[in-house]
Amino acid sequence: MGKVADLRKPLDLSVLKDKSVLVTGGASGIGSLIASRFAGHGQVLNGCGDINRSNGECLVAEQRTKGMNLNFVLTDVTDWSSQVNAFKLAIAFSGCSSIDIVVAGAGVSGGSFVLPDDEPASLERDPPPPPSTCMTYDVNSKGVHFTSKLAQHYFGLEPTSTSSHRTTHRKCLVVISSLAGYLELNAADYTASKWAIRGLFRSIRSKMEDLGYRVNLIAPWVMDTPMSNNLANLCRRHGFPVGEVNHVVEAVVRCAADDSICGRAIGIGVTETFDLRDDIEGLNAGIVIREYLNGEAKEFMAFFGQRV
């Protein structure tokens, strides 16, 4: 594991030239911005995998008019075979028979654990299952697990082309969790699924480093994206700040480009981007999260009835 990330030092983006990148969930929201950003760096060879064909094809058409090298692969991240196909097509599209950077960005929102219209307890009528639970866990937890395992597997492919930066810059997996994976929120299935991503990250980061790869985690605050637009609007109505999506994109690019960032969890707040120090020295992010809960998250948590 690397030391605490220096997120202010100058970043050499030339290392991304000719890199082969796959972004899941890359057809809309933050994922589409990440895919577009990677495609815009030199001659990055980029693929995005998403279940939304219309958005994906529109994104590719738009980027290609700008001379960007971007491809779309119809992908259901909850299906192993579909993700295998996405990786193979992204690798074939790269032209070098390998993959350098993978961003596990596919995600969906969830629902509250306690709902206003919950049925009263009764032995006469069985309660219905929570409406969004299965999909939330399948996409956010199982999907990211599949993406991470396939990244580890296909990172083992050696590129057919030869260039110095390919041999000196470690391949990198970036998983998108959330600050919900460090807090206690009423959206139980979403929160638990993001904690699961954090658990996956913690369990694989040492092994990935042993294999010569890097894995980093991104944990954003509430962002104004298609997935969380309703929550973002609610925050604004009550005077709670909302984060900048571009800060998430920049953090992902930095994690991929800066070879010294290894095994680090990066939080994206409203006012700054910070290393969560999710390790023993940082008390498993406890030090940073305590500061965050006493800062810009305090009123938000209190409003939603979550104990800080």
Active-site annotation holds for 177: yes
Q: What angle do CA 107, 112, 188 make, to 5 degrees?
A: 60
Point out the catalytic residue in the list 32, 177, 178, 228.
Answer: 177
Separation between Cα atoms, residue 168 and residue 150, nearest integer Å = 22
CA distance 73 to 127: 39
Please name the helix (run of DSSP H) or strand (run of DSSP E) that holds residue 134, with its range, or none.
helix 133-137
Residue 58, φ and ψ in degrees, nearest 5:
-65, -40
Query: CA-to-CA distance for 62 and 89, rounded, in angstroms?
Result: 20
Question: CB within 8 A of 191, min separation 6: which ones?
Answer: 110, 180, 181, 183, 184, 185
163 is catalytic: no
Query: 99: exposed, middle or buried (C-beta count within 10 Å: 0-12, 13-18, 19+)?
Result: buried
Is 190 marked active-site? yes
Which of the following is catalytic: 154, 190, 213, 292? 190
Instruction: Find the catalytic residue in 28, 137, 141, 194.
Output: 194
For β-strands 172-176 and 101-104, DSSP reports them as parallel
Please identify every residue annotated as catalytic.
177, 190, 194
